[in-house]
């Protein structure tokens, strides 16, 4: 029940395309859903986050879509750029104060 399942494991997108990464969870007590971006050799950095009382949050080219009834959320990267090439992690925060991470998606944006 504490798992967060992320797909796909890897993704190749052409420059200018849309990158979509999906996550699913089981525990309805999760109440905060962040996405982290990680470049090689660096620590993960918060990219965007959403709470379950909204269905969508947009920040620049990055959008989180949240479906509470399906217990799914996704990250959309519009107009993907080579500089977006990184590993992306979804996560869910439980009321015990712990972040549960998905397995990660390695995104490669081809020029």
Q: Which residues bind other proteins (CB under 8 A)?
A: 6, 9, 32, 34, 36, 41-46, 49, 89, 93, 97-99, 101-104
Residue with Cβ nearer other proteins (60 or 97): 97
Least gap, CB of 89 to other proteins (angstroms): 6
Of residues 103, 93, 87, the one with CA closest to residue 27: 93
Least gap, CB of 79 to other proteins (angstroms): 26
Whole-number Å distance between alpha carbons of 85 and 53 = 30
Q: Is 16 left (phi over 0), alpha (psi -120 to 50) or beta?
A: left
Of residues 87, 85, 80, the one with CA closest to residue 105: 87
Helix (H) / strand (E) element for 48: namely strand 45-50
Least gap, CB of 101 to other proteins (angstroms): 4
Residue with Cβ nearer other proteins (71 or 101): 101
Residue with Cβ nearer other proteins (47 or 77): 47
Q: Give the residues across from 14 on adjacent strands.
A: 110
Residue with Cβ nearer other proteins (7 or 17): 7
Least gap, CB of 72 to other proteins (angstroms): 17
């Amino acid at each position: 029940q504490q798992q967060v399942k992320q797909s796909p494991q890897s993704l190749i997108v052409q420059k200018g395309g849309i990158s979509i990464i999906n996550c699913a969870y089981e525990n309805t007590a999760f109440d905060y859903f962040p996405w982290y971006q990680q470049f090689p050799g660096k620590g993960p950095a918060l990219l965007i986050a959403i709470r379950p009382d909204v269905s969508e949050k947009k920040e620049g080219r990055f959008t989180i879509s949240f479906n509470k009834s399906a217990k799914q959320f996704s990250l959309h990267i519009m107009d993907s750029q080579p500089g977006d090439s990184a590993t992306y992690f979804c996560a869910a925060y439980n009321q015990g104060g712990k972040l549960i991470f998905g397995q990660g998606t390695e995104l490669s944006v081809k020029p």
